[in-house]
């Protein structure tokens, strides 16, 4: 697997992003989930068809400035700043989980900046009658098992991997905690930061992708999201849970390509909005 290059981009005076970049073609911004950003087979596959920009969330990897981001509003604005620095007037955004929530917020806030949106089992809504599990009150192996449909799969093995040397183990644990800390800043204690009041503003063509066996963000949430964005499409993927991009990489890539291809053609014909 080819390693992407990493750019360090000062988005504004408060925040800088480390952005992994690879591939050729139409630019696509990928926003990772609460587990952090790793260059995995899904992103590798995506980079075979698109130019992928994958920023680390501030406070994770080499991205910095989490302490300067006061709230979700700051987080959204610094993403637009990042788009400016990357030369993306309007970007196609693919986001997973927390990254899906950020993508939805971006699309709802400034409609002109998001061209097409793919939200993969995104966070952002919360139902008291069917609460999402508290990922911040779980032991690492419990969280890993919850994320996958098959706990004996290679994806699950990868999640459970513990480095052998003490030093590597310490660094891996610290990295894990930093990823969770950054995620918690925007998801604690309940991942409802008001998206439901803004989501109706989303005009970009939107595709939701969901693992049918997702027990972290159950499929009933997919229905909720789709009901709030009438023009959205939903791709349900079998034999996959929350980490659908790792469990059914090929199917997810195909669904994304089909959607981006069709909506791109449609936008060209209609001059923009669906």
Partner 1 sequence: MKFIAFHLMPYRELPADFEVTYPSVWVTPPKKLFDPKKGHRMYHDYLDELEFAVDLGFDAIGVNEHHSNAYGMMPSPNLMGSILSRKVRRSDKTSLIVLGNSLASYNPPIRVAEEMAMLDVLTGGKFIAGFPVGTSMDQNYAYGINPAELRERYYEAHDLIMKTWKSDDILTYNGKYNQFRYINPWPRPAQRPHPPVWIPGGGSVETYDFSIHHNYSFSYLSYFGHKYAKKVMGPFWDRNDELGADRNPYKAGYCQIICLSETDERAQIDYEEHVRYFFNKCLHVDRRVAEAPGYRTVKSLRAGLTSQFDGTQKSASQMLKDGMGWQDLIDHGFIVAGSPATVREIMRESLQDMRVGNVVCLFHIGSMPHWLVQKNMQMFAEEVMPQLRSLFSEWDHSHYWPKGYAEDAKQEAATSG
Strands (E), the chain: 5-10, 16-22, 27-31, 51-55, 91-96, 114-120, 206-211, 233-237
Measured from the CB atom, the residue of 111 and 136 that comes closer to partner 1 is 136
Nearest distance, CB of residue 120 and partner 1, angstroms? 22
Under rule CB under 8 A, residue 184 binds partner 1:
yes
Out of 2, 177, 261, 273, the only residue in the binding site for partner 1 (CB under 8 A) is 177
Summary count for the chain: helices (H), strands (E)? 9, 8
Q: Is residue 271 left, alpha or beta, with left meaning phi > 0 and alpha meaning psi from -120 to 50?
A: left
Under rule CB under 8 A, residue 169 binds partner 1:
yes
Under rule CB under 8 A, residue 164 binds partner 1:
no
Measured from the CB atom, the residue of 41 and 133 that comes closer to partner 1 is 133
The region of 3-11, 77-85, 132-140, 263-271 touching partner 1 under the rule CB under 8 A is 132-140
Tokens of 136: 């911040």
Q: Which 3 state secondary structure label does DSSP give 34?
A: coil
Under rule CB under 8 A, residue 141 binds partner 1:
no
Under rule CB under 8 A, residue 173 binds partner 1:
yes
Taking the C-alpha atoms of residue 265 and residue 259, their distance in angstroms, rounded to an integer, is 10
Under rule CB under 8 A, residue 181 binds partner 1:
yes
Measured from the CB atom, the residue of 189 and 271 that comes closer to partner 1 is 189
Q: How far is CA 85 from CA 17, 101, 194, in A?
A: 10, 22, 28
Measured from the CB atom, the residue of 111 and 181 that comes closer to partner 1 is 181
Taking the C-alpha atoms of residue 17 and residue 208, their distance in angstroms, rounded to an integer, is 26
Out of 40, 76, 136, 145, the only residue in the binding site for partner 1 (CB under 8 A) is 136
Q: Is residue 220 left, alpha or beta, with left meaning phi > 0 and alpha meaning psi from -120 to 50?
A: alpha
| Residues from 59 through 98 that contact partner 1 (CB under 8 A) | 59, 66-67, 70
* Binding interface with partner 1 (CB under 8 A): 59, 66-67, 70, 136-139, 166, 169-170, 173-174, 177-178, 180-185, 188-189
């Amino acid at each position: 697997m080819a390693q992407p290059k990493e750019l360090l981009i000062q988005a504004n005076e408060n925040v800088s992003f480390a952005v992994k970049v690879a591939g050729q073609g139409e630019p696509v911004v990928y926003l990772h989930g609460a587990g952090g950003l790793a260059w995995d087979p899904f992103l590798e596959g995506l980079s075979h068809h698109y130019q992928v920009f994958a920023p680390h969330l501030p406070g994770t990897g080499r991205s910095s400035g989490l302490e300067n981001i006061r709230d979700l509003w700051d987080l959204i604005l610094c993403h637009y700043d990042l788009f400016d620095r990357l030369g993306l007037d309007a970007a196609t955004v693919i986001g997973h989980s927390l990254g899906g929530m950020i993508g939805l917020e971006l699309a709802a806030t400034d409609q002109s900046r998001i061209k097409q949106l793919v939200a993969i089992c995104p966070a952002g809504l919360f139902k008291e009658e069917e609460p999402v599990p508290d990922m911040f009150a779980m032991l690492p192996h419990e969280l890993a098992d919850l994320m996958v449909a098959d706990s004996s799969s290679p994806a699950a093995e990868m999640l459970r991997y513990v480095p052998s040397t003490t030093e590597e183990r310490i660094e891996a644990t610290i990295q894990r905690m930093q990823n969770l800390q950054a995620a918690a800043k925007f998801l604690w204690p309940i991942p409802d930061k008001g998206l439901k009041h803004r989501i109706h503003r989303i005009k970009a063509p939107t595709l939701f992708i969901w693992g049918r066996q997702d027990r972290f963000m159950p499929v009933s949430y997919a229905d909720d999201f789709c009901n709030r964005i009438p023009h959205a499409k939903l791709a349900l993927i079998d034999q996959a849970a929350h980490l659908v991009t790792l469990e059914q990489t090929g199917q997810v890539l195909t669904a994304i390509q089909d959607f981006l291809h069709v909506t791109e053609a449609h936008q060209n014909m209609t001059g923009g909005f669906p």
